[in-house]
Amino acid sequence: MVGDLVEFELNQDGSGVIYKIGERKNYISRKAPRIRGASYRGERLEQIIAANIENLFIVSSTAEPIFNNKTIDRLLVIGESAKLNLFIVINKIDLDTENSIEHWIKLYTEIGYKVIKTSVISAEGLESLKSCLSNSKNLFFGHSGVGKSSLLNKMFPWLNLKIGEISNFTEKGTHTTVTSRMFEVENNTYIVDTPGIREIDPFGIRKEDLGHYFIEFSNFSSNCRFNTCTHFHEPNCAVIEAVQNNQISIERYESYLRMLETIEEDIVF
């Protein structure tokens, strides 16, 4: 797995054998995507994305592809459950001529997340993004076409990563980056570029735990009548009350319900 520390032996012909994988400090994973066309509705296995990562950069774009807060919320859950430092990067800020992204920046900043606005075209935000990477292992993750590889190339031109054509990401199924790779970009600073995701469901999260990973719920959830409250249909739920009082954003709560539903569909637990 990308990020694993391994011991290996090199053969004379340049091939090698890994004989030991070090213990993983953490890892991030998701449920393996459904196979298109398959009728099998069984258990979806865990797919590990990377190991021993410290910072997760959740990359999105203002347009092309359209901004998607539900995906950000899913990736935040994955990151919170793996106890990573989380950053939300909103790229292609040059395409947001109406400034419509401010609403979302305010929303995530108020929860307590660090949000970085970037543009590969104008170079806005790139210094600020770069300064977050030092002395860490950093993973860039998000939908295909949002500009993960472009951002990395702009900060570290010698990486020379492959960049997608404008037309590609509107057609489903086209990924420019096809495998995750880790690079050392500065002394003790590593980045991982990943292929864009289409579907993202966290693996191994129980219904009654999902609320813990929506971190702003914790200000209220201790006042729910039941300590196993899933903040959905239970009476005297303090989270639902907070949504009604605009103390928790309706968009976040809707993301939460959507995710809760997908957990309920699974037979795993």
Ligand X SMILES: Nc1nc2c(ncn2[C@@H]2O[C@H](COP(=O)(O)OP(=O)(O)OP(=O)(O)O)[C@@H](O)[C@H]2O)c(=O)[nH]1
Note whether 177 binds Mg ion by CB under 5 A. yes
d(CA 62, CA 68): 9
Which stretch in 78-86, 116-124, 140-148, 210-218 sits in contact with Mg ion by CB under 5 A? 140-148
| CB-CB contact of 78 with 161 (8 Å) | no
Note whether 61 binds Mg ion by CB under 5 A. no
Note whether 149 binds Mg ion by CB under 5 A. yes
Q: Which residues contact 194 (CB under 8 A, 6 or more apart)?
A: 49, 50, 139, 140, 141, 148, 177, 180
d(CA 43, CA 268): 6
- Smallest distance, ligand X to C-beta of residue 198, A: 10
- Smallest distance, Zn ion to C-beta of residue 200, A: 25
**Token pair recorded at residue 119:** 């543009």
Hey, which residues between 5 and 64 contact ligand X (CB under 6 A)? none
- Choosing from 79, 164, 202, 211, the residue that interacts with ligand X (CB under 6 A) is 164
Which stretch in 100-108, 118-126, 203-211, 213-221 sits in contact with ligand X by CB under 6 A? 118-126
**Residues 202-211 as b or e (16 or more Cβ within 10 Å = b):** bbebebeebb
Q: Residues 77-96 vs ligand X: string with x where CB under 6 A? A: --------------xx-xx-
For ligand X, the closer CB: 133 or 240: 133
| CB-CB contact of 155 with 129 (8 Å) | yes
**Which residues bind to Zn ion, rule: CB under 5 A?**
224, 229, 231, 237, 239
